[in-house]
Structure 1
Amino acid sequence: MDADTTTLSPETLRAEMVATVRKAGYARRSEVERVLLDTPRHEFVPDADLAVAYDPWQAVITHRFEDGRSLSCASAPWLVAAMLDQLDVQPGDRILEVGAGTGYNACLLAQLTGRADLVTTIDIDPDVTAKAKRALTATGYGDVHVITSDGALGYPDHAPYDRMIVTVSPWHIPAQWWKQLAPGGRLVAPLRWRGQGRSVAFTYTEGRLVSDSLHLCGFVYLVGDGEGELSGAITADELVTLHWDRDQPVDPEALRGVLDQPRVTAWSGTTIGRNESHDGLWLRLTVTDPRVCRIKVHADVPPEVCDPVRGWWRMALVDGDTLVYLTARRLESSDEVHWELGAIGHGPSADELTAYLCEAIRSWAPERKQHTPSLTVYPADTPDSELAGPAIDKTHSRFVLTYGDSTE
């Protein structure tokens, strides 16, 4: 939105927001476009400026923990649109939303299904639900059921649900969600595995959840769901930390001080454009390599100490006392800028592991835009013999990612 937003009406800003979201490839369903145009988003975030309320790329934080971490927010409009596209709400669908936020998403869901009383939104924080209820009532959608409770338990009183959407990030899929989803129903949730997060759309069929789309995203974590992802500092000042899943054999003590060891740098020869994503590489490696995790580097850490690729999400590989992470260097020609992907490693096996990561980059590069894996979620007691490939084990389920007919 390039115009002076201080003089534009909410209706004009909203139309520009939706146009931008559509141009970016979201709100593909005409119904989603319609409800985004019809809904006064600014009334759900009354403390935000109009320009912020209708910024297509910006989430609006509305509630925080005492330590400053965000507890609740209105998701960025592009992501709202993407997840509603994934959910594919049909008129008359009974819907459960886990994570009430501002009530904005519940308002959109009520319009998509056609009856506000078919929508239930649940949140563990009473301040969040109180504000969401007020906003929904003020905008004419007071019949939405706003429940204060633990979202991990779902809400059995209104089950079974034809559609379930989760707007907080769980590490696993709680057992109650399985029980409350109708056969053939759809679940959209921003799941986490191997350090990265994806909004995944599933259909519940034959006792399994089978995905048909995945979007890169980041969300506030589901409260009480932190036991699945572990973390630990690997520097004395605790400015560099690793994050990994509970089923991965990562020992942060074995890596304390690893960045003080000699650096090994290798380059893949693979380049990406200025606005081209490399996140598919990470996703691909989660299918094939159980060593993949995430490295978090504080802004105060100089690049000579740790220099990962830019972005909020930084991929790493851990093998015992060796750490390797993805990096990039700027390459300029006369008319454009590219970034070459590479690997930086520290530890006894750094040479081998950096070479391995560069080869993985080269293998991914030729078909980087063509292939996305399918994620199938099985109940936790499913034996290996009934799985389509190697499993990532969660508390209540087993995740299996596959490409086509094989796990590559």
Structure 2
Amino acid sequence: MVINIASFGGRTHMLDTARELEKFGHTVRFYSYVPTKRAMRFGLKKECSYSIYWFAFPFLILFKLFGSGKWREDLYNYCCDLFLSYYMKPCDVFIGQSPMHMRAIKRAKKKYHALTILERGVSHVLFQQKVLESIKSTKNSMSKLHVKRDLKGYNYPDFISVGSEHVKQTFLMYGFPENKIFVNNYGVNLQFFKPTALSGSPIYDVLIVGQWCYRKGCDLIIEAVKDLNIKLLHVGTIIDIDFPDLPNFTHVDSQPEYRLIDYYKQSRVFLMPSRDEGMSLVQPQALACGLPLVCSKNSGGRDLRTSLIDSKYILEMEDYNVTCLKDNIRRSLSLSFEQGTEVRNIMNSKDTLSYKAYGIRYNAFLNKVINNRLKVK
């Protein structure tokens, strides 16, 4: 099979998808603004990298100077999609990302008769819009053009691939056909993330990695940590809610992926009470390192329970409020104290959490669909 895979952002999970599918003997081309040398550092073969860095460079400068505002993102999506639709080579399968790849999908279907898949990393855009409108911040709000383009883009692919059951349910909520949805939980690099012993100084009760913002439920986290008087560590960027200037709150700027294990080692429990996620990639990282997880119903965390020796290590909030969050933090801390200072290994023997397993599921899906197409013909 010849597979074209396109990412509208940088590396994302799309590079991991390209790397894993190539291992099955497919001819894979990964189109993104990631320079080839950097892509190779994440295991992608040189011949698989089709970098469009110089085309995207003016937009990256624009984003650097003025931020990724609404009209700038819309212009970027439109131009890169148009460029790729003519630049990409013939393929049997085209995998693109929402909300960028619409023309490219249409062209791959019309010109190459390719199987087309749209990767949707977050919930249905109307659900996403509803969540963003319900919170205090406007930094993550979407333009009308963005929403319109995203909705239109759902009409063209043969399938939409999503990272969690939660995302699938949001598509069903808005009438999308269930037989066109492929659920494949994202993987984790098990070379970087593996069972850890609680160690280092200081030891933090709870950890959150990623954006510090309302969408991630950080307003609830602040209240819960204050009420429980426990120690919190945040690793990532501060977006739209102030980080408390208190002795039990510690912030560290964003770190390279390979360094995150150092912070997992220092922490008892991982928090992800998001109002909306696709499948938060830091959740499987934390679980692979042995930390109990406290998450919301919309974080994708529930899907990961089958990867554990006991589902008790994932505590999902029944109600989205501070009281429920505090109760789950207490329970998860009790689990952590039960683990003691030995190596924390909560994964079962089945390899379902790695990117290798993710690739196996994706390859099986592609083979099944292609074979069904051949039978119809």
Compute the TM-score of the two structures, normalised by the length of structure 1.
0.31
- Structure number with the higher helix fraction is 2
Bigger share in strand: 1
Choose 1 or 2 for highest CA Rg.
1
Q: Which has the higher contact order (CA 8 A, sep 6+)?
A: 2
